[in-house]
Amino acid sequence: MHDFNYVNHELWCEDVSVSAIAEKVGTPFYLYSHKTLLNHFRVFDGAFEGLNHMICFSVKANSNIAILKIFVKEGGGVDIVSGGELYRALKAGVDPRKVVYSGVGKRVDEIEYALKTDILMFNVESSEELLKIDECAGRLKKKARISVRINPDVDPMTHPHISTGLKENKFGINIEKSLDAYRWAKGLKNIEIVGVDCHIGSQVTKMSPFIDALERLKRLLKLLDKEGVRIKYLDLGGGLGITYNQEMPPHPKEYARAIIKASKGLDLTFIFEPGRVIVGNAGILVTKVLYRKRNEDKNFLIVDAGMNDLVRPSLYSSFHSIHPVVKKERQEHVADIVGPICESGDYLAKKRAVPKMEQGELLAVMSAGAYGFTMSSNYNSRPRIAEVLVNGDRYDVIKKRETYKDLVKGEEIPEFLKK
């Protein structure tokens, strides 16, 4: 569910007209609904009522500190994959003991930053990383709390680029070798084993991969118990999908029921890392039609948002519903909706049946709250766009639109080129 609805044929976000925001803020921009974000978090969290658990929002899905603050105020933690994401989360006021640090390529400075911050735990992805964390902790005279990220070799049945739990993926340690990894970690003097971690992929729309992974982890937990390794946290990651087009993912309550049933007898704290399922349908991308064009038998709508603003269609061939902000009687035609970037792969939709639009009219790209702004770039020297948060009948710009001056910030022409 979301709070983007048509009122008298015009799209509104909660109690504010999208057109009115566009007039003040300019286009393109990302637009989020506070009500939807809050509701999605509460529904997901509430689904696990009665189970000892922690919700650690996946910062990579949407890292704006105002968005993070919403979840922090609800008692949520965060799943991070970089020092920059840790910095953002701390700016939003997160409790460091609700921070889990994932990712295969943690640098020494990032590890030390997390240790000094006293985060809950590192999700370790390789034996060499484990050794490096031990070295850093020893140097800082600290104990590093860790879990080992297990690669369960479970097919999440999602796009290959966002699958993370197969043997061929770069993530985690093969489940068959994981017991050896724990034995080794047990002997490191600056390491405290506290958890087991698993994340099979993103935009997963079936329950079976989650349950298959959990069953494999339960077998590992029994082996660890025999080894005298006390596990406090079982991190099941995120990955629950949303509806972009015709997908029918499980509702968080259905997901929770299945997890709770499959985890009976486990005395530990569960960690969940939802991202897309919380923010995906809570945000849209608003863009303006610049030009219309016809080449032979093909129609184009050229808009002011490009692949640098929303890369998912170009990168994953992802589908996003696209609707006029103002509905009226129009003929439909089949067109490619493309941006201003100098790449043939710059598109928001291909061969899409859409209403015929006029220059200057607005389009709403739906389900753009996850992996939208976080994956945006300055390609073609385009300033990154604004982000706006609506709360009831008011809105706030939570990320200012970049300027041309921002594009060259930090760049210097060396003296020898000035002569």
Q: Cα(329)–Cα(340) distance, rounded to whole angstroms?
A: 28
CA nearest neighbour of 40 among 3, 91, 5: 3
Is residue 179 helix, strand or coil?
helix
Q: Cα(182)–Cα(306) distance, rounded to whole angstroms?
A: 46
Q: Cα(300)–Cα(292) distance, rounded to whole angstroms?
A: 6
Q: Is 342 a catalytic residue?
A: yes
Looking at the DSSP assignment, which residues form a beta bridge with residue 353? 334
Residue 47, exposed/middle/buried by CB under 10 A (0-12, 13-18, 19+)? buried
Other residues' Cβ atoms within 10 Å of the Cβ of residue 101: 27
CA nearest neighbour of 101 among 84, 116, 86, 91: 86
Q: Cα(63)–Cα(310) distance, rounded to whole angstroms?
A: 15
Report yes or no: 96 and 122 within 8 Å, Cβ to Cβ.
no
Report yes or no: 344 and 279 within 8 Å, Cβ to Cβ.
no
Give Dmax (Cα) for the chain: 74
Q: Please report where in the chains the tokens 């099941």 appear, as a residue.
A: 236
Looking at the DSSP assignment, which residues form a beta bridge with residue 9? none
Catalytic residue (one of 13, 136, 198, 342) = 342
Look up residue 195 and give its two tokens.
């958890």
Q: Cα(86)–Cα(89) distance, rounded to whole angstroms?
A: 5
Look up residue 260 and give its two tokens.
């709770």
What residues are annotated to the active site? 342
